[in-house]
């Protein structure tokens, strides 16, 4: 028995000293290492390593399991990295964890003109009693061949306000020749959206209650109200106790006092929105802690910093909004019914042309009609029924669900910006991450403006510097690098590039105000689009159908020039286009490839209205690269079905 114990100790000691390799990654490496391990440590126990031996079966199975586990370990690690993840669900989850909010769809915005027939008073003047006040949320429709959805007024349209209002005589009284009816027009702002309502009965309180919006094209949550009339507020994160609101302080409109002041409102009834794994908008409520008071409080400046900041100023960032966070995650709704009002939009289809929004669906008037008698009330109703609408500019900014790669790139840029705008890339990414309810910018490019107004100087014959005019003292201005030019474009309903209207641009300007540096001055401009075409000639191998090869080549070129993959100021690498064609099966050689310019004056349609020299011998092409213009532009293959022209020659073998 003593010898047996000694042997066991020796064996255990040998087992403890066995060397295990952890660098194996695939099946063959696992198997080779297991065989070597067995031969080295068990040379007398097992010696048959042929494929037919029973022991090899267990080695193969262990190698198989190791290979599978190794794959899933690598894949899990890869899917945890934003730059390398492939699953859309993982990319969205990582992006949201970093603070970026992907959008399902974006509505379009535009301005429209509301017109109404208003009667005159006995003196022939406009009777202001019958001027309508149209409420925000009044809906209108577009006369298009597809369903563009409805368009809602964003603000109150008050015809009693003379600002941006035009008044014209419509008809004259036959007896007095005085005006009897006026046509009054006023501009209003529209957004493509349809409001919907969802009700959810909540019984017992649930920590972090989740409510999913079933619509795939939801844009924003308008309001959440419970059965007791309490409002629940959307915040950036559930630890945010306060939200900023504008409070009117100067009713009389003094020129010195501000009209609004910012107050921090404590909101314990709060929620956040995010995309869930079903690619649906989900509302997440609080955990149940906190008190019931929603009160105005002034933020305490002392809570902006803490001891950690004072002790280690180089490693701890100063967050001026620390006072808006706490350990409470808000109340959890219980024993009530939540009424959720939200908006949906038709995305790209809502980018309708000008002159198509002409249908009045539902007018909501705010006029006080209880003081009108029966005759005046009938006149008022006639006036309301005469209201018409037309959009004099196209609705732009609508966008469908972004692709997985678009979410990834936007999130990477959002993280790199770190909540501030310093570089030109920061501006571009911040614009592309603008909430969808303000309209979608499809292409953005930012560039600094040196602002140099230097006066040219020259040296006289004595080598001294003199002014151009010796009688005038010129000032040599230093460059001012705080002017930022933002060039932007959007998509129309057919996903072709178009100019954004002024409403979307104003939304961008307001959106950037909270992020830009104080010294930056922003200029929002329209980027130029250059319409191009591709002409090419190929030689096909014998035995291949020339028409089929040409079709595949044209499809490959169209995919290469997919507008989603192109940015403002991106050059065309002609050699890359050539490679796209050469990779197609059946192509023996590419004998010619030419990038041509398309413009309205020569080619018609809605190509770019100006020409741009992209020829091989032109000034904008060098070393098979077509460079964009100094004024930022983007190359667009607008009509691939017509703008790609290919010719196929049959390869002939001579004997």
Given a cut of 90, is residue 536 above it in pLDDT? yes
- Measured CA to CA, the distance from residue 393 to residue 353 in angstroms comes to 7
Torsion 551-554-559-560 (CA) sign: positive
pLDDT at 540 over 50: yes
Distance CA(233)–CA(242), nearest Å, equals: 10
Helix (H, G, I), strand (E, B) or coil at 192: strand
Pair of tokens at residue 37? 């391990």
Q: Taking residues 219-242, report their average pLDDT.
A: 89
Residue 202 near residue 144, CB atoms below 8 Å? no
For range 348-365, the mean pLDDT: 92
Per-residue confidence band for 353, with pLDDT thresholds at 50, 70 and 90:
very high
% of the chain at pLDDT higher than 90 = 38
Quick check: 481 pLDDT over 60?
no
Structure-token pair, residue 144: 């298009």
Above 70 in pLDDT, residue 195?
Answer: yes
Does position 170 have pLDDT exceeding 80, yes or no? yes
65-74 average pLDDT score: 89
pLDDT at 304 over 80: no
Q: For the chain, what is the mean pLDDT?
A: 80
- Find the mean pLDDT for residues 140-156: 88
pLDDT confidence band for 592 (50 / 70 / 90): very high
The pair of three-digit structure tokens given for residue 521, joined into one six-digit string? 């001055």
Q: Which residue has the higher pLDDT, 68 or 247?
A: 68
Q: What span, in angstroms and rounded, lies between the C-alpha atoms of 348 and 393?
A: 16
pLDDT at residue 222 above 80? yes
For residue 27, pLDDT beyond 90: no
Residue 57 pLDDT: 85
Of 318 and 256, the one with more pLDDT: 318
Residue-wise pLDDT for 544-588, tens only, equals 999 999 999 999 999 999 998 999 999 999 999 999 999 999 999
**pLDDT surpassing 60 at residue 468:** no
Cα dist from 280 to 99, 210, 213, 610, whole Å: 17, 12, 6, 43
- Based on the number of CB atoms within 10 Å of its own CB, is 591 exposed (0-12), middle (13-18) or buried (19 or more)? exposed
**Could you tell me which residues are beta bridge partners of residue 589?**
539
Q: What is the mean pLDDT of residues 267-283?
A: 90
Average of pLDDT values for 132-140?
A: 91
* Confidence check: pLDDT of 638 > 90: yes
Residue 417: what pLDDT?
Answer: 57
Report the chain's C-alpha Rg in angstroms: 34
Structure tokens at 348: 């790209």
Q: What is the mean pLDDT of residues 61-78?
A: 89
Q: What is the pLDDT of residue 514?
A: 66
What's the N-to-C CA distance of the chain in angstroms?
91
- Per-residue pLDDT band for 597 (boundaries 50, 70, 90) equals very high
Q: What's the pLDDT tens digit per position in 309-319?
A: 344 333 444 34
Rounded average pLDDT over 31-53? 84
Length of the chain: 655
What's 418-526's CATH class? alpha beta
- Among the residue ranges 293-302, 319-328, 458-467, the one predicted with the least confidence is 458-467
Euclidean distance between CA atoms 433 and 438, whole angstroms:
11
pLDDT category of residue 523 using cuts at 50, 70 and 90: confident
Whether 467 and 540 have beta carbons less than 8 Å apart is answered as: no
* pLDDT one-digit tens code per residue, 71-101: 888 889 999 999 899 898 899 999 888 888 8
Average pLDDT over residues 321-330: 53
In angstroms, the Cα distances linking 291 to 210, 267, 287, 379, 416 are: 21, 9, 12, 52, 37
- pLDDT one-digit tens code per residue, 7-21: 444 545 555 567 777
DSSP sequence for 13-45? HHHHT--------SHHHHHHHHHHHHHHH-TTT
Q: How far apart are CA 97 and CA 415, in angstroms?
A: 10
Q: Would the pLDDT of 606 be above 60?
A: yes
Tell whether the model's pLDDT for residue 141 goes beyond 90: yes
At residue 386, the pLDDT reads 94
Residue 96 token pair: 């949201």
């Amino acid at each position: 028995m003593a010898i047996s114990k000694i042997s066991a100790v020796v064996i255990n000691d040998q087992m403890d000293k066995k060397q295990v390799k952890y660098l194996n990654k695939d099946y063959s490496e696992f198997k080779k290492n297991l065989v070597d391990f067995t031969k080295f440590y068990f040379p007398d126990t097992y010696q048959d390593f042929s494929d037919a031996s029973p022991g090899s079966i267990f080695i193969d199975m262990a190698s198989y399991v190791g290979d599978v586990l190794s794959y899933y370990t690598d894949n899990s690690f890869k899917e945890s990295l934003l730059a390398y993840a492939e699953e859309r669900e993982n990319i969205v989850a990582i992006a949201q964890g970093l603070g970026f909010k992907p959008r399902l769809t974006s509505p379009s915005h535009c301005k429209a003109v509301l017109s109404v027939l208003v009667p005159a008073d006995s003196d022939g003047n406009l009777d202001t009693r019958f001027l309508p006040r149209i409420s925000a949320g009044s809906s209108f429709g577009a006369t298009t061949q597809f369903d563009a959805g409805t368009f809602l007024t964003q603000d109150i349209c008050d015809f009693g306000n003379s600002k941006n209002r035009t008044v014209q005589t419509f008809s004259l009284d036959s007896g007095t020749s005085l005006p009897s009816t006026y046509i009054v027009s006023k501009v209003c702002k529209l957004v493509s959206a349809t409001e919907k309502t969802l009700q959810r009965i909540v019984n017992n309180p649930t920590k972090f209650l989740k409510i999913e919006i079933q619509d795939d094209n939801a844009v924003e949550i308008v309001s959440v109200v419970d059965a007791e009339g309490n409002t629940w507020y959307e915040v950036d994160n559930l630890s945010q106790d306060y939200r900023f609101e504008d409070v009117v302080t100067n009713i009389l409109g003094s020129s010195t006092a501000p009209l609004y002041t910012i107050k921090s409102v404590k909101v314990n009834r709060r929620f956040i929105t995010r995309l869930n794994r079903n690619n649906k908008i989900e509302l997440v409520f609080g955990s149940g802690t906190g008190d019931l008071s929603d009160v105005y409080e002034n933020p305490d400046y002392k809570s902006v910093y803490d001891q950690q900041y004072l002790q280690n100023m180089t490693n701890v960032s100063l967050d001026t909004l620390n006072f808006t966070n706490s350990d409470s995650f808000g109340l959890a709704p219980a024993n009530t019914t939540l009424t959720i009002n939200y908006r949906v939009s038709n995305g790209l289809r809502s980018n309708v042309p000008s002159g198509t929004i002409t249908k009045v669906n539902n007018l909501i008037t705010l006029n006080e009609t209880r003081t009108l008698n029966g005759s005046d009330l009938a006149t008022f109703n006639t006036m309301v029924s005469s209201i018409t609408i037309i959009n004099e500019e196209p609705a732009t900014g609508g966008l469908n669900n972004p692709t997985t790669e678009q979410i990834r790139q936007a999130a990477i840029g959002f993280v790199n910006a770190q909540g501030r705008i310093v570089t030109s890339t920061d501006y571009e990414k911040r614009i592309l991450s603008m909430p969808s309810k303000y309209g979608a910018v499809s292409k953005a490019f930012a560039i600094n403006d040196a602002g140099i107004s230097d006066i040219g100087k020259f040296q006289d014959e004595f080598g001294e510097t003199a002014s151009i005019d010796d009688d005038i003292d010129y000032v040599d201005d230093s460059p001012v690098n705080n002017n930022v030019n933002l060039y932007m474009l959007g998509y129309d309903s057919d996903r072709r590039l178009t100019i954004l209207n002024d409403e979307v641009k104003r939304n961008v300007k307001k959106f950037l105000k909270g992020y830009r540096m104080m010294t930056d001055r922003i200029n929002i401009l329209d980027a130029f689009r250059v319409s191009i075409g591709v002409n090419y000639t190929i030689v096909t191998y014998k035995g291949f159908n020339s028409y089929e090869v040409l079709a595949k080549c044209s499809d490959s070129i169209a995919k290469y020039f997919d507008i989603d993959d192109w940015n403002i100021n991106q050059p065309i690498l002609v050699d890359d286009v050539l490679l796209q064609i050469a990779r197609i099966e059946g192509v023996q050689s590419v004998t010619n490839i030419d990038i041509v310019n398309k413009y309205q004056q020569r080619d018609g349609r809605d190509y770019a209205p100006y020409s741009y020299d992209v020829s091989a011998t032109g000034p904008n092409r060098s070393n098979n690269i077509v460079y964009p213009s100094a004024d930022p532009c983007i190359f667009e293959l607008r009509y691939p079905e017509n703008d790609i022209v290919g010719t196929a020659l049959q390869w002939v073998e001579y004997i």
